[in-house]
Structure 1
């Protein structure tokens, strides 16, 4: 009978704690789950091995027995003189007379005749009589999917239509979502094992760059063009916001680079959408082009007055 290295199957160290083993199981289960790999017998086989290893290594008694068996098997392999490994002390639920050995081929044949339920003869022979649940309820693997939205959609909230396992889902994306925000859709991940619940579907939000606004948390930043006349004399300019436009009073002699803070004109807060960030408008003075001769003369006159 083939010895199975459950630690190698889950790619964990022998010293790994239970939580690390569960994390490794969830990661591999997502990768090899039959829903993700339809009609792939190799993935199906790997998924069964992963599930089996998880069942043993998360059960304290089964893991302790397995560790003892693995140590004995490794010691035997290091000094093997051509004999077969004696599985007798390790077979579960089989009584033998002192000094006698079980016929492992007979044990495997019996197991295969009654069915293994998707588990290997190794598991059935060693752990089948220990009460290790082969149908212990385990939550299915979570699925992750990236979804792109615009900054305007992040401002107002939006939704996306998805098809998961042949089912049409409308998923609401909340106001204030930003890069990395995860939207959880319960019970729309992979199926569980042993009657366990399905995993969850997580949508990871990616907000596409905006041509005018730069986002920093809940605040927005904007380069605001202001003509030289308004910058010198003062006046009103129109400031674009994500839902329309507002007027901003520019005081006389405003310098390029000055930043105006427009309170509550930024993004909604994800946790409290009624609370909003601010909009910071940075003045960028624009110089007139295609001047007439008269305009050039006036600017020259102004330069003389200023002693330039």
Structure 2
């Protein structure tokens, strides 16, 4: 069993902040998540490694213990004569060969178990009970879910959990459901369930922060003379004034018609409407005549 450099697993320095560690984990977890790599055993093992590294480095107490002992952890393997130390958990797992063999039923490697499980000097470093590890999962949400909020029922380890999604969720946001993770050992509390939000693409709107963007085509006359156009906006409609002489590509803004803020549901971003001019492909004889007259006026003839 070799030493696991959890910092290298997440691609961060030993001086990394909690924020750095969280960002690195999120990025790699999305890349190697089993949902994105079905049937890929290497990706599955990598995802387990990432979870294990994050489980240690996100927790100040575990991280300090890991840093304090560091690469000298092997010296504890020889302390079997110490009445306060047990290494039986490690000794019973030697001889494994494949990568998956080094992960126990708990989903963590022997190295992790030797540090934080029953195989490592519990009298000095571990209480009799231990909190369960956190679970990580993704939740896909629609733009309508973000705008209005919604109710969800999720199934975890055979148990159904009812949860309310508040308006204003953002892509990559992590929701923590306390006590819904893996069960603790020896009567310890369960870990938490961490749900990473994935915003699904929308057929009409593009999202940037709390602002929405959409493209709208108008006719030539509205572009030249100006006027009002009505747009569908989720389950409602909004009108926007098009100034006379509007060029194709002009961006119009509707304040407060974007997405709500998570902590301030009454506060919204803005809706930006990019105008494109639709040139008529077929004209009646009368329309052709009128356009010809307009052309003559513009040419001064």
| Superposition TM-score tier, normalisation by shorter sequence | 0.5 to 0.7
The root-mean-square deviation of aligned C-alpha atoms, in Å, is 4.2
Spell out, residue by residue over 1:86-138, the C-alpha distance to the aligned partner (whole angstroms, 9 max, x if none): x7x861249xxxxxxxxxxxxxxxx9xxxx89745699xx987x833665333
Spell out, residue by residue over 1:195-225, the C-alpha distance to the aligned partner (whole angstroms, 9 max, x if none): 3221111111111111111111011111122
Would the alpha carbon gap of residues 68 and 175 (structure 1) be closer, same or farther in structure 2, given more than 3 Å must change?
closer
Corresponding position of 2:289: 297
Corresponding position of 1:268: 260
Corresponding position of 1:58: 65
Query: Is 1:92 matched up with 2:82?
Result: yes
Name the count of aligned residue pairs: 232
CA separation in 1, counterparts of 2:241 and 2:253?
12
1:135–1:195: 8 Å Cα contact kept in structure 2? no
Spell out, residue by residue over 1:39-70, the C-alpha distance to the aligned partner (whole angstroms, 9 max, x if none): xxxx9xxxxxx9xxx99x93999x59x94973
Query: What pairs with 1:183-198 in structure 2 (closer than 5 Å)?
Result: 183-198=175-190
CA separation in 1, counterparts of 2:147 and 2:198?
13
CA separation in 2, counterparts of 1:207 and 1:93?
54
- Unpaired segments ≥5 residues, structure 2: 8-13, 26-44, 46-52, 54-60, 93-113
Cα deviation, residue 237, structure 1: 0.7
TM-score relative to the length of structure 2: 0.63
TM-score relative to the length of structure 1: 0.62
CA separation in 2, counterparts of 1:146 and 1:127?
33
CA separation in 1, counterparts of 2:222 and 2:74?
85
1:235–1:252: 8 Å Cα contact kept in structure 2? yes
- Unpaired segments ≥5 residues, structure 1: 28-42, 44-49, 74-86, 95-110
2:87–2:120: 8 Å Cα contact kept in structure 1? no
SS of residue matched to 2:75: helix
1:135–1:193: 8 Å Cα contact kept in structure 2? no
Would the alpha carbon gap of residues 127 and 184 (structure 1) be closer, same or farther in structure 2, given more than 3 Å must change?
closer
Query: Is 1:231 matched up with 2:223?
Result: yes
Query: What pairs with 1:11-90 in structure 2 (closer than 5 Å)?
Result: 11=5, 58=65, 67=72, 70=75
Query: Is 1:243 matched up with 2:235?
Result: yes
1:185–1:200: 8 Å Cα contact kept in structure 2? yes
CA separation in 1, counterparts of 2:139 and 2:133?
19
Would the alpha carbon gap of residues 254 and 59 (structure 1) be closer, same or farther in structure 2, given more than 3 Å must change?
closer
Corresponding position of 1:150: 142
